[in-house]
Amino acid sequence: MGLMLEGKSIIVTGAGRGIGRAIAMMLAESGANVLVNDLGASAQGEGSDSSPASGVVADINSSGGNAVANYNSVSESENAEAIVQTCIDTFGSVDGLVNNAGILRDTIFHKMSEEQFDVVMNVHLKGSFNMSRACAPHFRAQNSGCFVHMTSTSALIGNLAQANYMAAKLGVVGLSKSIALDMSRYNVRSNCISPFAYSRLIGTLPSETDEQQARLKKIKQMTPEKIAPLATALFGDAAADVSGQIFAVRNNEIFLMSQPRPIRSVQTSDGWTPETVSSRVFEAFKGSMYGLDVTADVFTWDPV
């Protein structure tokens, strides 16, 4: 019996460290050819370094896998085209993409600059679009292909001081669903994963008080390697009819996340006025409205 992904060629962006590295390693272990893309920038998106991507490629190849490195930024469309072409030139095809590249520029909203907003959007959302758009013609021509995009519970639920990141990551959810709808006729699938994992993007969490140290200890249980099995399985044949979904992984837990649907309604035969909306609608909906939750308010139990 062959390996699950034998013969498939998959691009993983932001694969030099953390979650991207863990996914790239498991894809290779499952038989895939892997293009390891990583600019090698800091967690804030500054600088570049070829060694993270080269190191992952060396680890994969020394273990009997097949990988090639690429150091381009995904935030420019011409780079995305070059990344995809490198995959095709090296392995003969492109069959899948993991949009994982990301940076953080956390700032409370009323102090956030346009540059802080734009740079995060350019990597997370525009980078995911650029890479997906570069793959799309090849997936359409071969009547197959699979996208896995990384979103975040910061976007799905909420977090403080992350307007740029939340907007980008919720945009990724919309992008994924649009791809799933538009490309289903070509047997192309698109799904999101919201990962809970301790990586350098959250490695600066405070650890001064006993409570903060206890929280950090729990978070450190959730290693990047916990995300890789779901990401890998989504490229397999068993996921052939799985598309347009949002998953979350939290240590040994896997969740299927909800998507917006109507939950309450009111109607009137006379039409609405601002006054009747004020007196009837808000009161009727109040019990079903969402609070200003952050992720920790919803996931209140310890990781399993």
pLDDT tens digits, residue range 153-169?
Answer: 999 999 999 999 999 99
Which of residues 193 and 45 earns the better pLDDT score?
193
pLDDT tens digits, residue range 14-41?
Answer: 999 999 999 999 999 999 999 999 998 7
* CATH domain 9-256 topology: Rossmann fold (3.40.50)
Q: What is the pLDDT of residue 213?
A: 75
Q: What is the pLDDT of residue 49?
A: 86
- Identify whether the C-beta of residue 255 lies closer than 8 Å to the C-beta of residue 157: no
Q: Quick check: 201 pLDDT over 60?
A: no
- As given in the structure block, the two tokens for residue 73 are 């930024």
186 is catalytic: no
The b/e string for 214-232 (b: 16+ C-beta within 10 A; e otherwise) is eeeeebebbebebbbebbb
Catalytic residue among 165, 186, 198, 290: 165
Q: Residue ranges of the domains in the chain?
A: 9-256
Q: Which of 106-115, 124-133, 199-208 is predicted with the least confidence, judged by mean pLDDT?
A: 199-208
Report, as an integer, the average pLDDT of 249-269.
97
pLDDT tens digits, residue range 207-234?
Answer: 678 776 776 777 778 899 999 999 999 9
